[in-house]
Structure 1
């Protein structure tokens, strides 16, 4: 059973994202005092007073203006309203009623949705009189709140819970918990890359809808957008991120926060899929992003996107060779050639993500570890060094981590350590995942 959905709508900079974050209880959406910071629809599941629901944060409504970006943003807002059961219409108590408020209220009155009119930035009792003019919008009594300080939020949520009886959500713990359990067994995959390499187009092709805005302007996505997705009976949480820029190239505060949020997405994902711009090839910024993923110990898939724009004379195997020659560290990670525009290999890349995820979380049985230890000690490289490995223990997964006991050596060369790592990779087919080996001397 789907949870009822609430869409938070309003013009730019009235505090929609602050309200979203206050209700969700985490800084999931970027809050920055400039208009137009949120552009995509963000979703989060919450529970209040035993009632479960999905909160949707939307972009700022700036009227039915013309222009590519304005029309794309408006399209996202309309989709948020359409998929929602309940609307939180947020206004600004300090600025008062603006023309966009009147236009949006007119649009909302034509729907059959339950609408909660919210006057934000009412920080104290003396500001309450500012809410009176909002009765003009014809949407009933407004809720006076301060999303920044939490004032009025509990009353709003309590009234919301009372009004949700028609959704028969009395058994919500049984409804929400299986979702949590199924997602915990799935893979969190972050779609990472420089601005404008096609991350949102990739996600939209998979979902067969424009859940996030696609626009040829670099930096269109600024939040890390989580999307739950089922493919071949496997649970995925796909995280679309803002483009990660080198610090010297960041000009706006929202771009800075978006880049930070993307790096946080890397920390909480299981698999990082780094998209490259096929025609441009591997850049220094791409290399920095890949290094970030590996430093965080994440499984990694390289997707060479926009393959439809690469010269026909370029063969995949040749491109793959040049790529791994340019950055030797990625030799242990799979490369898939995709086109988010045509769909080539986009869904096939989900199989690759799942494959490396299974290796990333693998727990190897002790008898197999014993066989690996025995085989390792028989290799000429180890015999010639006159050392012996006494024991092999797996101490954890995600990524796989091992302890290898060493006898007959005060230290091991980096070459020998690399040999042992490669031996493990061949023994267990660890393509796509970093591995950690601790040598106990």
Structure 2
């Protein structure tokens, strides 16, 4: 099932704080999921591509199994775990060998025995001989032979490989034609799992557009992503700060591939006291750095708070393309007047990203989502724009003629020519006689001219001034 066909899906389940996220990180070979001694760190389900030797599969990290009412946060977390179990091919049931089999383990073991999926029991945290003794207790779950395991140290991976391979091979033998057509011939349109991603930009691009959704806590980021996906993929609710990990989901819109990354809400640094929240915010910043486009989600009922401006400034400093989603627009009483006022505020408060697209949306009703995605596509194309040197210098000559640079100590700064050094974000180099004397206001004039002339709204622009060589020196 993992070779040539659809990858098997393996869900990791168990009580809170038994080491599920540590196991997830071990299997994918990266520290992707947040890990802490605090129970209940994981809330959303997260997927990753795992590998043990030659065995490849999709692994799903889940929230700890807990009994709770369906409307509570824990109950909604449990619902996400149930969805992961239903979608999985194999279940890894993790228990804490040092704590032994708890009543909750027995209850969830009974639940898993009734499911149709193969279940592998991992007695985790079983370092040393004491762990071996404790692992034997896991036989009482009635789910077969447990594996004595340590996710922290990688102990027991060989046994896990053997049991997983047997389970996956058994599944593949039941469905030998995962990527075949009805007559048994291979499907020419089936995806090749090992095909390299293409890096080109523009219409021919096949690599997913990396889109990070960031904002203050409770701005509606997860609700917005759920509405885009058309399913309750992210945990949502009235409580602020529900999302802790940065969760990436692959998705397609109008034939274009996207990777949507939901992030934890970012509060002001002074307010972030707990270690876990610091880790969550660190993950959000990391997701922002690896994104191509950042959708800054702002609560339209309380727009442009100080923290919103800090987040936007961070995106600009990182050089990412940006779109502002004015979320909760369904709660705005005067849409036309509010939008006009917000655009005026953006012009005044965000000179560093002039022309950024602001799209009114509602994650609750689905309003404006197509316009938001159109803005994302346009933004990433502007971010990747390369302007020919000829066009640049024709504009440059006109700009200097209309508004020459100022004189410094009686000597006028001479601007010679301009070229584009990089894209993503656009980076231009202008050669002049006294770069260190150039006023910031004139640099802003040039940057705004570049933005307006070459349609680079909502994209950070880098402009470096460099002294040209004197041919007579």
Give the deviation of 1:170 after TM superposition: 12
Indicate how the Cα distance of structure 1 residues 158 and 429 shifts in structure 2: closer, same or farther if over 3 A, else same. farther
Residue pairs, 1:84-95, within 5 angstroms: 84-95=88-99
- Range moving further from structure 2, 386-395 or 339-348: 386-395
Deviation per residue, 1:217-263 (Å, 9 max, x gap): 00111000001111111111111001111222224332221111111
- Whole-Å Cα distance in 2 between the matches of residues 312 and 82 of structure 1? 44
| Selected match of 2:448 from 395, 402, 422 | 422
Indicate how the Cα distance of structure 1 residues 372 and 146 shifts in structure 2: closer, same or farther if over 3 A, else same. same
- Range moving further from structure 2, 4-13 or 368-377: 368-377
- Range moving further from structure 2, 417-426 or 367-376: 367-376
Residue pairs, 1:2-13, within 5 angstroms: 2-13=6-17
- Whole-Å Cα distance in 2 between the matches of residues 27 and 410 of structure 1? 43
Task: Confirm whether residue 391 of structure 1 aligns to residue 395 of structure 2.
Answer: no
Deviation per residue, 1:252-294 (Å, 9 max, x gap): 3322211111111111111111111111121111111111111
- Range moving further from structure 2, 68-77 or 317-326: 317-326
Map of 2:430 onto structure 1: 404
- Whole-Å Cα distance in 2 between the matches of residues 416 and 392 of structure 1? 15
- Whole-Å Cα distance in 2 between the matches of residues 93 and 392 of structure 1? 66
- Whole-Å Cα distance in 2 between the matches of residues 233 and 111 of structure 1? 36
- Whole-Å Cα distance in 1 between the matches of residues 447 and 347 of structure 2? 18
Residue pairs, 1:275-290, within 5 angstroms: 275-290=297-312
Indicate how the Cα distance of structure 1 residues 184 and 288 shifts in structure 2: closer, same or farther if over 3 A, else same. farther
Give the deviation of 1:65 after TM superposition: 4.4
TM-score (normalised: structure 2): 0.87
| C-alpha contact (below 8 Å) 2:7/2:56 kept by paired residues | yes
- Whole-Å Cα distance in 2 between the matches of residues 57 and 91 of structure 1? 14
| C-alpha contact (below 8 Å) 2:413/2:438 kept by paired residues | no
- Range moving further from structure 2, 39-48 or 316-325: 316-325
Residue pairs, 1:22-33, within 5 angstroms: 22-33=26-37
TM-score (normalised: structure 1): 0.93
Indicate how the Cα distance of structure 1 residues 397 and 330 shifts in structure 2: closer, same or farther if over 3 A, else same. closer
Task: Confirm whether residue 210 of structure 1 aligns to residue 232 of structure 2.
Answer: yes
- Whole-Å Cα distance in 2 between the matches of residues 284 and 276 of structure 1? 11
Structure 1: gaps spanning 5 or more residues: none
- Whole-Å Cα distance in 2 between the matches of residues 286 and 55 of structure 1? 35
Map of 2:182 onto structure 1: none
Deviation per residue, 1:66-104 (Å, 9 max, x gap): 542122111101100011111111110011111221121
Indicate how the Cα distance of structure 1 residues 408 and 211 shifts in structure 2: closer, same or farther if over 3 A, else same. closer
| Selected match of 1:259 from 281, 289, 292 | 281
Give the deviation of 1:306 after TM superposition: 0.6
Q: What's the secondary structure of 1:390's corresponding residue?
A: strand
Residue pairs, 1:215-226, within 5 angstroms: 215-226=237-248
Deviation per residue, 1:339-369 (Å, 9 max, x gap): 1111111232111111101111223334433
Give the deviation of 1:386 after TM superposition: 4.9
Q: Over aligned residue pairs, what C-alpha RMSD do you find?
A: 2.5
Residue pairs, 1:232-243, within 5 angstroms: 232-243=254-265
Give the deviation of 1:18 after TM superposition: 0.6
| C-alpha contact (below 8 Å) 2:131/2:148 kept by paired residues | no
| Selected match of 1:176 from 162, 178, 193 | 193
Map of 1:437 onto structure 2: 463
- Whole-Å Cα distance in 1 between the matches of residues 300 and 436 of structure 2? 47
Structure 2: gaps spanning 5 or more residues: 180-190, 200-204, 468-473
Map of 1:21 onto structure 2: 25
Indicate how the Cα distance of structure 1 residues 135 and 329 shifts in structure 2: closer, same or farther if over 3 A, else same. same
